[in-house]
Structure 1
């Protein structure tokens, strides 16, 4: 065994090459932006916005005190009262920098039972939204709530349960139940308008709207309609006119669109109508080019009229009740006309659905001074809206997969990510989309650049509220990826946010076959710094029996199955950390020795390899070679003890090349 190991890797999360010859790494189209918000930032932004618009309902103060006193609160209240928003805002108030936000989904793939204590990490914020649960689902959850609450208490975590209204609750849990009553509708509307920058005035339209019982969602949507009405209104229009326009838009315009579409018999007219509906508010140049592209996609024959004899864009737009504004952007005359047009074509011309997806994929690749990421995302969202509105979430997911096949531009890949994001955020289809993504990550053959689309969706969308689901989807992607480490890096980043997630991944790896692909995951995940960092309760992962067993199994497989050049950079980090972490450093060394001691017929070779790695690590030690040499001596002592040797000498099998001893 030679000690002349000279590899040095500071952050071994990218492809590593330590042998002879060339290294070929296929990266493909880069999807990630260096300034792209992480999933934590996205989740925080959403919760910040939610807190801004939330009007505290009756009972929220009591819920806040109950959560502070016991760590658990069970919210009850009629549908539309804002129970789920209250739950999320309450949990946001307990974001103290430890743990993660986690929405519990006990019936889904790779989700632990509510009674499993491994579900709760130190300082976690847990939401169990059962507001739409059936009687059977609620009964199953109730049976586990006491065990879940106990784990929450032990981990200094916080749990908010939203129970289905009108269902029973066990006597021992009644203490945690708080009734939420809807806040005043006018106050809610005023709050939303204020956040939108719209000044409220008492008008009959609002009085009539609020005279009926309205859910918090309906009020929020109406406030948004008022905001959008103001944005397209003339400078001389008043708040009352904005509200009247919003009320007309809310009542729907489907009959008007049906009549208009029947009058427009020519293909170019209908193409312009549909294009503007899909790209509403875009610049006139964008609308013109996209209309031509739609006609080409539908293989419509070109116009045979001389160019100067054709209708200009302004005339054609007037035929569909639209016009170009002073800034060059195009709008329909009536608010939400575009939504009604999209719904009409989707519902009444089903043969358009497939080519519409092809057209959107081509349109997002357009460039120009008026084409932005926001414009592309809006186009994708409007297409996704139709799929989801009509219960076709699976077709939307398949469309995103098709967009990602080779060759796929960055814009098309971003469109695929945005389409899946729309599906994941849909209340009715989100669960199914998460399941399809799991099947892709774990079992399906992925074509083109679809794998990196899934990596981004898992890391930036699913992880924001369902980190465990993101963890195992990224695990499967990392296990199967070749010639790239995108999924592995995303997985490493995710477990860095929570010791509980790191523990779950180590446990999963221990229960796997620990193939070479899984060992490539194990090595960066067993970073010694987070393993030795104490929690708020003063304990570290390396001190937990379960984690030590997982780590020992992993290192045993590494020492038996991987060449030293591959694992030495990671062992080097363990040895350097062991130099400066006191008794936890001894635990790191103990674990390495225990792993080598379990290598059966390769036991002696494993000990020799560890010793040689320690000698090599002395030369790169950040604390100096003298302190590193003491760590090597400690390691040698532990190896000698494991071998049953009575004195601290270097066994012949460990003597480095050249015969020298430390």
Structure 2
């Protein structure tokens, strides 16, 4: 997780009952299993437990459960890892399967000096592995008022000591609210327009209630379909200017196949008057806002919940909004996110896929921003995130993928997946980089190299993936990527002395030398040149030298080294480097002079 995200969470975190016990358990045993009632902030508490051990030497990583037990790869755990395993959304069969490998995985965590926090699926405590029950800690519900105050302070809202206002309904709301509900309440307080904290809290509490009946009454009072379309458009585009709201209304009327309005234009009520009757106002800036805080959210939810007969029309409407000229780029992003959130909330993730496919085929338009926001919303969704991660995996290997869409997927890997799931990001970037088979995608390759620049474990994982298939059946792009990842400038002194990494690079060289379509000869010359800049030329050049012996390319390497030595200006230095290489080759063959 990005350090900025951890800091954001920390500023809003109120430790729950049991947090101190859990922290002590993690410190002493390198593992803790936390449980608690849903809605009490278990996942956030688990993340904060790991944050207590975070520093430059420790990497936060959320373990995937997308593939069941095989997701827990013992070989991928390294010293100092801060691992979060969230089992709250895993179905009961998946939970049982993961239990079978947890003890062995925990042993690996302990042996390498990592830290593991498991968020248990609530209500199945008897099914937790018997060896892990001793590490289980029950977390209580944090004081909801303290949680609210922390959120408000973090959002820049303060008050004098002893000056906290008494607000009707607040105590009742907090009594049963989840931590997410309280976060939402704080956001409403932050956006409320009242000048006093009491007024803002009051408006936020009222906005947080169930307003379906209120919206239904407003719709009943507006039997005209055009008026209802205006209500929906104003809610979806709240904060946008009047021309955009009006045009969005007309598009929805068209898509819903509503009969045309036969009333002469001059006899119709002006749009601002219609909006006022619907509880909205047009400000001097031309922006449309509802007078009641949070009312637009209630309207949006009502339409998506109740107008199931219009969901295709609403999806098509969203497609048109992505290119609506009356909207700014930021406003288009916002409406795309609102649509995506509603589609996922009503269990229609396929609508996001349809929108993405349509936008990819929109001629003459660069909809990269909208595609990114759409898929980002899917990837970050707790329920549907695994499905979108799988989609990203599948799309990444499509050979005919456009460069523009590939760039969007690359950005999603780096900005959305990598902070918490770096292994998954690496896998998808690898597929994107090599998808053309013969050549590399330069954007995905650059990001993949950046991801593995300072992470030896991820680099080893990349080398393992590059050798997954036999050398003869690999695409040429795999070898080009290997040479990029194993470039001399990336092989630091520590990496050259890491036996596992050296072995991986040597094996990669040996495989490359077995292929006639891979330009390993050019790369060898580059390595000879890099040897002149290396602190220990022999440590670097011994890699291709040993590979040449293993691949049966000794004669060709000799000739290349001698040709290279004679081709440059500083021949004396080149001859010395070529001799370093050939001497290592001789030694590897047991030849001594």
Short-chain TM bin: 0.7 to 0.9
Say yes or no: does 1:62 pair with 2:21. yes
Q: TM-score, normalised by structure 1?
A: 0.79
Retained in 2: the 8 A contact 1:579–1:627? no
Matched residue, 2:54: 95
Matched residue, 1:523: 483
Retained in 2: the 8 A contact 1:406–1:449? no
- Alpha carbon RMSD of aligned pairs, Å? 3.2
> 1:272/1:562 Cα in 2 relative to 1: closer, same or farther (>3 Å)?
farther
Distance of 2:115 and 2:524 partners within structure 1 = 35
The worse-fitting range, judged by mean Cα deviation, of 142-151 and 508-517 is 142-151
Say yes or no: does 1:192 pair with 2:151. yes
Matched residue of 2:292: which SS? coil
Retained in 2: the 8 A contact 1:527–1:570? no
Distance of 1:93 and 1:533 partners within structure 2 = 31
Matched residue, 2:522: 568
Give the aligned length.
581
> 1:156/1:628 Cα in 2 relative to 1: closer, same or farther (>3 Å)?
farther
Matched residue, 1:427: 382
Mapping of residues 76-115 of structure 1, within 5 Å: 76-98=35-57, 100-108=59-67, 112-114=70-72
1:26-46 CA distance string (max 9 Å, x none): xxxxxxxxxxxxxx7xx3332
Say yes or no: does 1:204 pair with 2:165. no
Retained in 2: the 8 A contact 1:506–1:550? yes
1:568-621 CA distance string (max 9 Å, x none): 357625752575343xx5343222012222334x542244335545666x76xx
Distance of 1:405 and 1:574 partners within structure 2 = 47
Retained in 2: the 8 A contact 1:397–1:433? no
Mapping of residues 205-354 of structure 1, within 5 Å: 205-210=169-174, 212-228=175-191, 230-231=192-193, 233=194, 235=195, 238-295=196-253, 309-350=267-308, 352-354=310-312
- CA deviation after TM superposition for structure 1 residue 136, in Å: 4.5
Mapping of residues 469-548 of structure 1, within 5 Å: 469-481=424-436, 484-512=441-469, 513-534=473-494, 540=495, 543-545=498-500, 547-548=501-502
1:428-466 CA distance string (max 9 Å, x none): 111111122222223685367432222222222122211
Say yes or no: does 1:130 pair with 2:76. no
> 1:44/1:367 Cα in 2 relative to 1: closer, same or farther (>3 Å)?
farther
Matched residue, 1:161: 118
Matched residue of 1:94: which SS? coil
Mapping of residues 370-519 of structure 1, within 5 Å: 371-373=328-330, 375-405=331-361, 407=363, 409-410=365-366, 412-442=367-397, 446=401, 449-481=404-436, 484-512=441-469, 513-519=473-479
Select the structure with the greater relative contact order (CA < 8 A; seq sep ≥ 6). 1
- CA deviation after TM superposition for structure 1 residue 487, in Å: 1.8
Matched residue of 2:83: which SS? strand
> 1:300/1:126 Cα in 2 relative to 1: closer, same or farther (>3 Å)?
same
Q: 1:117 aligns with which of 74, 87, 98?
A: 74
> 1:362/1:603 Cα in 2 relative to 1: closer, same or farther (>3 Å)?
farther
Structure 1, gaps ≥5 residues long: 1-39, 535-539, 648-662
Q: 2:576 aligns with which of 630, 633, 642?
A: 630
Distance of 2:454 and 2:321 partners within structure 1 = 37
Matched residue of 2:281: which SS? strand
Distance of 2:8 and 2:308 partners within structure 1 = 37
Matched residue, 1:50: 9
Retained in 1: the 8 A contact 2:83–2:115? yes
Distance of 2:405 and 2:496 partners within structure 1 = 35
Distance of 2:573 and 2:42 partners within structure 1 = 58
1:342-385 CA distance string (max 9 Å, x none): 233334444543343344344333457x7242x22210111012
- CA deviation after TM superposition for structure 1 residue 628, in Å: 5.7
Q: TM-score, normalised by structure 2?
A: 0.87
